[in-house]
């Protein structure tokens, strides 16, 4: 047996709250937290009063980037199905689930339809048995409501969540921005923000009818949040997520044709950004994820309309999330519900807290260390971030997966 005692820590647990104390780990699992008895043969780690929290579970990444995840305090990622090849085959799903271990555990989100074409259902049950923890529509929307209803009904029987992209593709076809002053001034092809509300409404109604678990990967508009609130009050099994970009930036960030701010969904109005902050505070938003989708210069150093949407987000997820605590939008333990416990619950994996019996996936960080985001200095492969040059606070100090330091 291996026993490790973490001493003099500021424990951050989504269930037990934030408190001073220690944590005892035996054979890769947490056995006690708070006031602990330290065995004589235990390896002791002095946390020096720094924050010890569950390591981040990043729900909805598009690229496996071990180095970026290590720098960002992430030990588990839910990989979106939009790969080459698409995650619509059990062999591909199984391979994806194995390639990151032991340092980074990958939980594939299998394609809901073959080739993500939105027409024919994929082999969801076989992909689930191969390691998929959810099924998803990828970066697109299933336009055929009959197909979507069948996907939800089948996922309900498998008891796995359906992860959807919340934009009506009929409205967003060819658009690179949200309707508004910025898009008009720049002459960019744009779509109304209501494209999100239409998609959210349709998918919630189908989920309500089928009884399936629905996760709206990114909800970014006031109308969308209102629909999610109402659905939760009715008892619909719906959760929703967001990225720091849609909490801290509005469409103004795309001024001067800044392609690093070309995202999907596109950045919204300032009013929608304020609505997102309110939704974080009142619990409407369940998951905060990086949306990690790094792009190289050949995809970003182009005219805005020709550039590829996406940003590198894994390394900046923690400091950008901590801004929400410093600005008073939520408490530290609630933040780690968004970063760890709730994503794990959506995926059906038993982790994300500091409770006894949970895997010792741990993150030691200094919430106060100041630094400046510099995309060119990122540990991972992608340097494109709309937050380049932003002063932030919060650094990962050490990281453990199953009690083993990475």
Q: Which residues pair with 58 in a beta bridge?
A: 77
Instruction: For residues 368 and 73, give the distance between their C-alpha atoms in angstroms, rounded to a whole number.
Output: 16
The distance of Cα 22 from the centroid of its chain, to the nearest Å, equals: 28
Q: What confidence score (pLDDT) does residue 308 get?
A: 96
Interval 40-83: pLDDT, tens: 999 999 999 999 999 999 999 999 999 999 999 999 999 999 98
Residues 6+ apart with CB under 8 A from 274: none
Q: Ramachandran region of residue 320, left (φ > 0), alpha (ψ -120 to 50) or beta? A: alpha
Residue 272 pLDDT more than 90?
Answer: yes
Interval 390-403: pLDDT, tens: 999 999 999 999 99
| Beta strands, E only, 29-127 | 29-34, 43-46, 51-54, 56-61, 74-79, 105-111
Q: Got the DSSP string for 363-406?
A: EEEEEEEEEE--GGG-SSS----TTTT-EEEEEEEEEEETTEE-
- Percent of the chain whose predicted confidence (pLDDT) is above 90: 95
Q: What confidence score (pLDDT) does residue 382 get?
A: 65
3-state secondary structure of 190: strand
3-state secondary structure of 65: coil
Q: What confidence score (pLDDT) does residue 236 get?
A: 98
Interval 137-167: pLDDT, tens: 999 999 999 999 999 999 999 999 999 999 9
* CA torsion, ordered 100, 69, 164, 305, to nearest 10 deg: -120
Residues 6+ apart with CB under 8 A from 312: 68, 292, 293, 294, 295, 375, 378, 380, 381, 382, 383, 384, 385
Number of Cβ within a 10 Å radius of residue 64: 16
Q: How far is CA 139 from CA 93, 115, 174, 225, 310, in A?
A: 18, 12, 14, 20, 11
Return the minimum-mean-pLDDT range out of 1-5, 51-55, 290-294, 306-310.
1-5
| Domain positions in the chain | 3-46, 54-350+358-395
Residues 6+ apart with CB under 8 A from 379: 67, 68, 70, 71, 315
Q: What confidence score (pLDDT) does residue 26 get?
A: 97
Residue 169 pLDDT more than 80?
Answer: yes
Go through 163-197 and write b for each residue having 16 or more CB atoms within 10 A of its CB, e for each that does not.
Answer: bbbbbbeebbeebbbbbbebbeebebebbbbebbb
Query: Once rounded to an integer, what is the mean pLDDT over residues 176-187?
Result: 97
Instruction: For residues 397 and 55, give the distance between their C-alpha atoms in angstroms, rounded to a whole number.
Output: 12
Q: What confidence score (pLDDT) does residue 369 get?
A: 96
3-state secondary structure of 52: strand
Interval 73-126: pLDDT, tens: 999 999 999 988 999 999 999 999 999 889 999 999 999 999 999 999 999 999
Q: What confidence score (pLDDT) does residue 383 get?
A: 75
Q: Which residues pair with 7 in a beta bridge?
A: 46
Instruction: For residues 176 and 191, give the distance between their C-alpha atoms in angstroms, rounded to a whole number.
Output: 8
Q: What confidence score (pLDDT) does residue 380 get?
A: 65
Q: What confidence score (pLDDT) does residue 2 get?
A: 92
Identify the CA nearest to 82 among candidates 386, 303, 310, 347.
Answer: 310
Instruction: For residues 48 and 208, give the distance between their C-alpha atoms in angstroms, rounded to a whole number.
Output: 48
Query: Once rounded to an integer, what is the mean pLDDT over residues 268-284?
Result: 98
Q: Does domain 54-350+358-395 have CATH number 3.30.70.890?
A: no
Cβ atoms of 18 and 353 within 8 Å: the answer is: no
Residue 381 pLDDT more than 80?
Answer: no
Query: Once rounded to an integer, what is the mean pLDDT over residues 30-34?
Result: 97
Residue 379's pLDDT band, with cuts at 50, 70 and 90, is confident
Q: What confidence score (pLDDT) does residue 296 get?
A: 87
Q: What mean pLDDT is reported for the chain?
A: 96
Q: How far is CA 42 from CA 22, 25, 361, in A?
A: 13, 9, 18
């Amino acid at each position: 047996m291996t026993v490790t005692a973490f001493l003099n820590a500021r424990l951050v647990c989504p269930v037990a709250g934030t408190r001073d104390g220690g944590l005892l780990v035996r054979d890769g699992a947490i056995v006690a937290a708070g006031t602990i008895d330290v065995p004589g043969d235990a390896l002791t780690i002095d946390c020096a009063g720094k924050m010890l929290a569950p390591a981040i579970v990043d729900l909805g990444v598009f690229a496996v980037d071990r180095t970026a995840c290590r720098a960002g305090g992430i030990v588990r990622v839910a990989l979106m199905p939009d790969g080459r090849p698409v995650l619509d085959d059990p062999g591909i799903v199984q391979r994806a689930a194995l390639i990151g271990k032991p340092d980074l555990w990958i939980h594939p989100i299998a394609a809901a339809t073959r080739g993500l074409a939105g027409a024919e259902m994929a082999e969801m049950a076989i992909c689930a048995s191969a390691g998929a923890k959810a099924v998803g529509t990828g970066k697109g929307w299933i336009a055929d409501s009959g197909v979507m209803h069948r996907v939800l009904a089948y996922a309900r029987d498998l008891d796995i969540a359906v992860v959807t992209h919340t934009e009506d593709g009929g409205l967003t076809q060819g658009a690179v921005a949200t309707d508004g002053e910025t898009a008009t001034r720049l002459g960019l092809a744009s779509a109304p923000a209501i494209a999100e509300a239409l998609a959210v409404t349709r998918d919630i109604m189908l989920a309500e009818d089928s009884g399936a678990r629905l996760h709206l990967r990114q909800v970014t508009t006031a109308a969308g949040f209102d629909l999610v609130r109402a659905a939760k009050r009715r008892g619909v099994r719906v959760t929703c997520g967001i990225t720091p970009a849609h909490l801290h930036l509005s469409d103004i960030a795309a001024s001067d044709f800044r392609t690093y701010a070309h995202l999907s969904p596109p950045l919204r109005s300032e009013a929608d950004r304020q609505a997102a902050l309110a939704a974080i505070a009142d619990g409407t938003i369940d998951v905060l994820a990086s949306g990690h989708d790094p792009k190289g210069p050949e995809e970003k150093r182009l005219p805005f309309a020709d550039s590829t949407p996406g940003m590198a987000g894994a390394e900046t997820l923690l400091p950008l999330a901590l801004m929400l605590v410093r600005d008073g939008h939520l408490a530290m333990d609630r933040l780690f519900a968004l970063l760890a416990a709730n994503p794990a619950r959506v995926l059906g994996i038993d982790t994300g807290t500091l409770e006894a019996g949970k895997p010792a996936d741990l993150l030691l960080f200094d919430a106060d260390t100041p630094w400046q985001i510099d995309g060119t200095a990122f540990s991972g492969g992608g340097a494109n971030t709309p937050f380049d040059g932003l002063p932030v606070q919060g650094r990962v100090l050490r990281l453990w997966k199953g009690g083993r330091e990475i």
